Chains A and B, each alone.
Chain A
Amino acid sequence: MNIAFAHPWVLVLLVLALLPFIAGIFNKRLTSWNRLIPPSNTTRWINRLIKLLGVLAFISIVLGLAGLYQTEKTFTRTGTGAHIVFVLDRSASMNETFGGKVPDNATPAKSQVARRLLSEFVNNRPHDLFGVVGFSTQPFFISPLTEHKSATQAAINSLTSPGLAFTNVAKGLGMGLSYFQDQPHTGSRVIVLVSDGAATLDHRAQRVLREWFERYQVSLYWFFLRTENGLGITSEPESARDDNPRVMPERYLDQFFRTLPIPYHAYEVDTPESMEAAIHQLDNLESLPLVYNELIPRNDMTRLCFLTALLAVLILLGIKALEAK
């Protein structure tokens, strides 16, 4: 049981608890001769009890005023779940709709659809840890792997901000993988790459990504938000001349991901509904046994202290009422 105080300085008042040893609640009375009222064991014990009640009353009021509480506890439990890092594309084209147009009320932008669905997904997975990375030309750290859902939701909201520059998938994935560096290996580890484009990876980036994916054993989900009539992961080149990573970066990125020694799933998403279906699949697939921490919030014990003091004072009051007038 861990105990702490909201206002520890109030504890100075604990010296008041010495008062019952110095003085009592009764009026001093004169008697003609002390020996006429001989002390007995019973009266000694009653006297001690009365002092103790006084001490109890002072101590519990002061503890209550100091804001006694039980600190929040974490219980380690085993359930099913995952450590999930969202790697979000923040390039300029995410502002368009799936039809490649300027968004209006009826057809939201790709980034808006992604935000809504990811946010629902986060709410539905109570025990998972989530982290968020954004990337455009450079990656940026948004929120660490955490069980606080409110923080993850705020981080996913970054998708509402207009997109920036280009799509540098390699650096985004690199930062996403770095989240698993100091994490204990429990449950499934997942990177969810949400992007609407791809880029060519140079040899150096390919080598580093391959090494890191293998070392951290992270499975990869790629939600490719395809624009209508645009090139997709599964598009076949029309001629041999077009079959190169510059013309068809998506196809080549997909081929690279397939060669990685980890579970990999690609979803080509071209409507809000298909994205929802893809997220459901992710939900079903990623539930390995996971050791997670359950947080029990702090327990305020102020009222309990005041209640104890009240009982002590009520008994004292009763005794005082019996005092000889």
Chain B
Amino acid sequence: MKSIWLLGISAVLLIIAVLIPNLPFPSKKYDYFFMVDITRSMNVEDYRDNNGDPISRLEKVKADALAAIQQLPCGSRVGLGVFTERMPTLLYTPMEVCSDYPEIRESIRRIDWRMAWVADSNIIQAFANTLELMRTVELTDATLVFFTDGQEAPPMNSRYAPDLGELQSAENNDQQPISGLIVGTGDHALSRIPKYDEDGIQIGFYTAEDVPQGTTFGLPEDPSKIEGYVPRNAPWGNQSRAGNEHLSSVKEDYLKSLAEPAKFHYHHLQTSTALLTALMHDDFSQRHIRKTDLSFIPASVSLFLLFLAYLPENIFSRKKNLLKPNINERIPLNSG
């Protein structure tokens, strides 16, 4: 039956749809602080772009981070920093990803290894300092996303590493510990690190003689294992050491060992969609109350009722078909 009620209720629902105020409704958002490694090893070209051409780790990080930012829900914010040696610096505090997207895009595109003000690469110290920096500039609510390949140059003496667990423990801080994600960049196979001159022109690759192959900082843990150990004159022995420190790959085990005491997640950068999934993990989402427009709910129900009101009757009902013979019966009456 075509009931007047369908139209009536539909009209009432539309009145609700027009008048309903924006109601506070919980939704998810994300607050990130991206910290990007701009040391030399990030210039290694061991990723491929869409055309299959080799691109450097830094270019890959920039492209994938931007692609992921584009997919974040509005209201999320992204801040940016870069680090080299052991020193991180803040480029800007988090900006909203929808309204300020052009600025975020431009600034990420312009990240360059030549921004680096010193040349070493001391990942674990930089990581610890980044946590400190976030406390100094009051960004503790943001999720730290730390992009690095984990290449320590020169190799470090693990005896002097900062205690990440202590930095993140609740007793040491007035504030809550910082949550975050370490993103390992690079391939598992070793690659050569490009070498540039003063004007940024590539002049070859680093060779085994160019870089220290082992640490010579501080005191060794167990002197008896070092060949030619002399406490004063040769605390690290008198042998030249061979090694692979001039080649670089992603140091996943090392990065995982950083992530674990700091209670960070670890992700190996491969595609921007996988990065986005890692970024949008539930641990990083923040609930916030947003005024949400709910008028679509009564409006869609009213659309459905209107649809029912117009629906041709003979689609479901068989009873109507039964009426037809009655009509036919009358025909002879008319003709007669």
Contacts and interface: CB of A to CB of B under 8 A. Distances in A.
Given A150-B96, A155-B91, A310 B103 contact: no
Between A22, A61, A132, the greatest number of chain B beta carbons within 10 A of the residue's beta carbon is seen for A61
Interface string A139-183: 111111010101100110110111011100000000000000000
Interface residues of B, number: 57
B4 A321 contact: yes
A150 B97 CA distance: 11
A325 to B, nearest CB: 10
A185 to B, nearest CB: 21
B303 A164 contact: no
Contacts of A27: 1-2, 313
A25 interface: yes
Contacts of B307: 16, 19
B11 A310 contact: yes
Interface string B60-94: 00000000000000000001011000010111111
Interface stretch (B51-59, B146-154, B164-172, B291-299): B291-299
B115 A138 contact: yes
A49 interface: no
A249 to B, nearest CB: 19
Contacts of A310: 11, 14-15, 17-18
A22 B307 CA distance: 12
A197 interface: no
Contact of A160 (B10, B137, B312): B137
Contacts of B328: none
Contacts of A303: 17-18, 295
Contact of A25 (B94, B96, B309): B309
A209 B11 CA distance: 70
B163 interface: no
Between B89, B94, B302, the greatest number of chain A beta carbons within 10 A of the residue's beta carbon is seen for B89
A23 B311 contact: yes
B89 to A, nearest CB: 5
Contact of A302 (B96, B104, B295): B295
A54 B7 contact: no
Given A150-B96, A154-B94, A310-B15, A28 B306 contact: no
A161 B137 contact: yes
A142 B107 contact: yes
Nearest to A156: B92
Given A64-B299, A65-B296, A158-B91, A139 B7 contact: no
5 closest A-B pairs by beta carbon, nearest first, are: A161-B90, A141-B110, A151-B103, A310-B14, A137-B117
19 contacts: A25-B309, A33-B334, A57-B306, A61-B14, A137-B117, A138-B116, A140-B115, A141-B107, A144-B107, A146-B102, A148-B102, A148-B103, A154-B94, A157-B137, A164-B87, A307-B18, A310-B11, A313-B302, A317-B8
